[in-house]
């Protein structure tokens, strides 16, 4: 029996877990006795135990990557979303950031928009990305300010997250200090960037406008003509909220 | 192999005093905990984490214990891990390094690997032995220091095998006989497999190439669903201490004994228990290990 055949069979079935079905091995090049042997392995208590370990590890990896976003959800919805992610093959990456990024992206597509849960999910993902960038990259582009033609865009490792309640009140509520605030029609924008002290802070109206202006690459001169101050652009570049396009 | 003594894995959350108080002779570092994965699979060493680890370990010698190589994957092992190890070795040289005998990726679509989510055992076949032996030889040449393979714990009965290889002990022997690597003998894994598959752990040890054992792991586990799980969540069980007493005088080339525990269980276990396990391991090392043999056997 070929090594790749054994490994594909075992790997596929462990990933499938309780949904494992030897029929999923039909495309593998196995002889009749090899197929029977693998079926015996897959029917064993030891295989079911291995699959349960795998499931438990995958669910733990996923949950670890989205503690904040999951914390606001009712336990049943939390379990359902983690379970759906693992059913789709998630939770297998042992590297925290890669696993967390993928799971938070998945969650973001499934949470109501707008909702506190979605804001927290986007914020958690933005902070993880900014934190990772903060350890490996330096802010770029200071010299760009003196070149009016230099093109700037929003930073790849930065984000602007909209909250629909005061973020401090929301976080306090999650820590059990008060009831969750209602979903407001007012937005509280929070800027997240790798070079920012604490990685995040509320964005004021001027910063919100500059962030929106950087949605498309823009020359420094155009940004300044639109009323964005040199100081604001400089601060964005220093924190990684903006970078040369 | 230099006889180092008693080792402990590097844990960033453990008080550095544990490493500096004389209970630890060397540190086992897992490079993957000091890095992050980029999109596409490349692994970046994180300078701040590396610096913190070096600060904690001070002048203690280090060895590497990797977890992401997937040396037995038929479609290819993890080249990103080897690239990471190249950079790690350039910045922080190690005396030897080790990996687990098994696989954790399979071929997916579009030439991508799929993670299995849990390490899986290799079938005891000639093909598996040759594949891993060839890769081990290449790895030994690449790093210029000994490369060790760890015997794995697993729960799968009746995996395919070739008669001349037999079982997982035979597979490890067949790989080592081909000359490219040494063995990291995990005694908890031996005991785990003995309990779960119903065989004698001492007989299993007697069948191993003990002259090629360069490091020993001890650890704890726990019962789940009728299986003794290699969970690294507790102190070392008495039968594993017995195995250490039995094995140490039989492994003349051993460089050290490492007590393994998972980082998430450290707070519950407590630092006193960790120091106790290290102290007990040291007492056995001094009575039964190679330093004892150096004094009395020559």
A63 in B contact zone (CB under 8 Å): no
Nearest Cα neighbor of B104 from B113, B93, B94, B92 is B113
Q: Of B37, B103, B127, which has the smallest distance from its Cβ to A98's Cβ?
A: B37
A40 in B contact zone (CB under 8 Å): yes
Q: Of A7, A57, A135, which has the smallest distance from its Cβ to B74's Cβ?
A: A7
- List chain B residues with CB under 8 Å of A136: 36, 44, 46-47
Interface touch A41/B73, C-beta < 8 Å: no
Q: What are phi and psi of A103, to 5 degrees?
A: -70, -40
At B265 the pLDDT is 94
Cis peptide before A114 (omega within 30 of 0): yes
Interface touch A46/B46, C-beta < 8 Å: no
What average pLDDT does the segment A111-123 reach? 97
Surface-to-core class of residue B128, CB atoms within 10 Å of its CB (0-12 exposed, 13-18 middle, 19+ buried): buried
What average pLDDT does the segment A85-107 reach? 93
What distance in Å separates the CA atoms of residue B146 and residue B40, rounded to the nearest whole number?
A: 30
Q: In chain B, which residue's Cα lies nearest the Cα of A5?
A: B74
- Specify the DSSP class assigned to residue B297: -
Q: What are phi and psi of A27, to 5 degrees?
A: -80, -10
At A82 the pLDDT is 97
Distance from CA of B116 to the nearest CA of A (A): 5
pTM of the model: 0.90
Polymer length of chain A: 245
At A133 the pLDDT is 84
- List chain A residues with CB under 8 Å of B74: 2-4, 7
CB pairs under 8 A between A and B: 118
What distance in Å separates the CA atoms of residue B42 and residue B85, rounded to the nearest whole number?
A: 12
Start-to-end CA span in chain A (Å): 54
What distance in Å separates the CA atoms of residue A113 and residue A64, rounded to the nearest whole number?
A: 23
What average pLDDT does the segment A5-34 reach? 86
Q: With the C-alpha atoms ordered B249, B172, B102, B91, is the resulting torsion angle positive or negative?
A: positive
A10 in B contact zone (CB under 8 Å): yes
pLDDT of chain B, 298 residues: tens digit per residue: 889 999 999 999 999 999 988 999 999 999 999 998 877 778 989 898 999 999 999 999 999 999 999 999 999 999 999 999 999 999 999 999 999 999 999 998 776 889 999 999 999 999 999 999 999 999 999 999 999 999 999 999 989 999 999 999 999 999 999 988 999 999 999 999 999 999 999 999 999 999 999 999 999 999 999 999 999 999 999 999 999 999 999 999 999 999 999 999 999 999 999 999 999 999 999 999 986 544 333 3
What distance in Å separates the CA atoms of residue A200 and residue A161, rounded to the nearest whole number?
A: 10
What distance in Å separates the CA atoms of residue B15 and residue B19, rounded to the nearest whole number?
A: 8
């Amino acid at each position: 029996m070929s090594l790749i055949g054994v490994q594909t069979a075992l790997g596929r079935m462990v990933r499938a877990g309780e949904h494992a079905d030897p029929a999923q091995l039909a495309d593998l090049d196995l002889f009749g006795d090899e197929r029977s042997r693998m079926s015996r392995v897959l029917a064993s208590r030891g295989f079911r135990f291995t699959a349960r370990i795998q499931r438990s590890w995958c669910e733990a990896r996923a949950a670890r990557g989205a503690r904040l976003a999951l914390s606001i959800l009712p336990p049943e919805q939390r379990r359902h979303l983690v379970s759906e992610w693992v059913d789709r093959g998630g939770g297998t990456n042992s590297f925290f950031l890669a696993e967390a990024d993928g799971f938070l992206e998945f969650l973001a597509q499934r949470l109501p928009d707008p909702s506190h849960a979605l804001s927290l999910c986007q914020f958690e993902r933005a902070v993880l990305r900014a934190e990772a960038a903060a350890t490996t990259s330096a802010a770029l582009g200071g010299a760009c300010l003196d070149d009016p033609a230099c093109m700037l865009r929003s930073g790849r490792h930065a984000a602007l997250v909209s909250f629909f309640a005061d973020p401090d009140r929301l976080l306090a509520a999650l820590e059990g200090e008060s009831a969750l605030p209602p979903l407001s029609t007012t937005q509280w924008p929070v800027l997240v960037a790798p070079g920012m002290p604490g990685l995040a802070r509320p964005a004021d109206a001027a910063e919100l406008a500059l962030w929106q202006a950087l949605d498309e690459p823009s020359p420094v001169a155009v940004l300044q003509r639109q009323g964005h101050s040199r100081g604001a652009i400089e601060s964005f570049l220093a924190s990684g909220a903006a970078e040369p396009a | 192999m230099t006889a180092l003594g008693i080792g402990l894995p590097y844990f960033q959350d453990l008080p550095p005093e544990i490493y500096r108080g004389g209970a630890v002779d060397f540190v086992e570092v897992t490079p993957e905990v000091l890095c992050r994965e980029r999109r596409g699979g490349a692994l970046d060493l994180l300078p701040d984490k590396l610096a913190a680890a070096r600060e904690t370990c001070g002048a203690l010698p280090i060895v590497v214990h990797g977890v992401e190589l997937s040396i037995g994957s038929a479609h290819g092992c993890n080249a990103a891990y080897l690239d990471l190890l190249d950079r790690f070795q350039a910045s922080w040289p190690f005396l030897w390094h080790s990996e687990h005998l098994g696989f954790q990726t399979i071929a997916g679509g579009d030439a991508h690997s799929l993670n299995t989510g849990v390490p899986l055992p290799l079938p005891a076949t000639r093909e598996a032995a040759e594949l891993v032996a060839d890769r081990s030889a290449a790895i030994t040449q690449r790093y210029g220091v000994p490369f060790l393979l760890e015997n794995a714990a697993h729960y799968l009965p009746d995996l395919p095998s070739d008669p001349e290889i037999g079982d997982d002990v035979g597979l490890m022997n067949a790989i080592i006989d081909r000359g490219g690597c040494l063995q990291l003998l995990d005694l908890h894994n031996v005991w785990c497999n003995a309990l779960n598959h119903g065989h004698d752990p001492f007989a299993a040890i007697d069948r191993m190439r003990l002259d090629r054992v360069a490091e020993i792991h001890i650890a704890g586990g726990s019962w789940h669903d009728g299986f003794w799980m290699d969970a690294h969540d507790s102190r070392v069980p008495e039968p594993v201490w017995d195995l250490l007493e039995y094995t140490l005088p039989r492994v003349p080339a051993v460089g050290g004994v490492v007590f393994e525990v998972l980082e998430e269980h450290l707070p519950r276990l407590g630092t006193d228990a960790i120091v106790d396990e290290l102290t007990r391991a040291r007492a056995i090392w001094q009575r039964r290990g190679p330093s004892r043999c150096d004094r009395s056997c020559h």
